[in-house]
Amino acid sequence: MAFPPRPRGTFNPRFKKEQQQEHKTNHMIRAQEVRLVGENLTPGIYSTEDAQKIANEQSLDLVEISPGAKPPVCKIIDYNKFLYEEKKKKKEMKAKAKTSEVKEIRFTPNTDDHDFEFKVKHAEKFLKDGDKVKAHVQFKGRAIMFKERGEILLLKFADSLKDVGALESMPKMEGKRMLVMFAPKVIKKKSGSELGKLLERSTDVKKEEVPTTTEPTTEEKTAE
């Protein structure tokens, strides 16, 4: 069944764009007068026509920033640049507020070395990005008989990730799969080796502070 043709003259893309725009700009501002603020001008109340002329002379836009004021407050800026900066700020804020996700890595009891290393690299990337990693060995059919092989595989995986990931729990069974969870590792300011050196130094100092006592010789005892 054919649909009837759309009547001409009912769709105005420009009008739709204006309706979606967050701020009123240029000819969209209907007030008779506005209060101008900003740089390169004398702040004050202008007729909207004069304010638009000033904006045109600077090849910029007249933007209504406070429509509820009487008269509305406007600023002369590059509106496209303003929108770009706002979008950039929102993107940066969204990136900073990113919540960590749980990435999943799947093994089988027969995972070969090449596939294992490939999965290790993926897990390292996830952990460095701040995400958690859930790794599990899936047992199908009679493979459930090789649970020890799965446990060894996951512990080997944990050892490969020890520099970037913290193991939250030992391998455990859930149904027909064995799993472990890793969290991004917080890098400590003092490494283990540095801490060891500090302990050695403190021990040496304590040894130096302890006075040494010598037993008197036989001749000294006789003299006494």
Domains and CATH numbers, the chain: 19-79 (3.10.20.80), 102-184 (3.30.110.10)
Instruction: Say whether 180 sits in a helix, a strand or coil.
Output: strand
Peptide bond into 5 cis (omega under 30): no
Supply 98's token pair: 């990113």
pTM of the model: 0.42
Tell me how far the alpha carbon of residue 153 is from its chain's centroid: 30
First-last CA distance in the chain: 130
3-class DSSP assignment, residue 174: strand
> Which of the 8 DSSP states describes residue 142?
G
For residue range 47-77, list pLDDT tens digits in order.
999 999 999 999 999 999 888 889 999 999 9
What ranges in the chain are assigned the alpha helix state H?
13-20, 48-57, 79-96, 113-128, 147-160, 192-209, 218-223
Given CA atoms 4, 8, 13, 19 in this order, what sign does their dihedral have?
negative
Q: What is the CA radius of gyration of the chain?
A: 37
pLDDT one-digit tens code per residue, 160-210: 999 999 988 888 888 888 999 999 987 554 444 554 554 455 445 444 444
Q: pLDDT averaged over the chain?
A: 78
- Give me the pLDDT at residue 125, please: 93
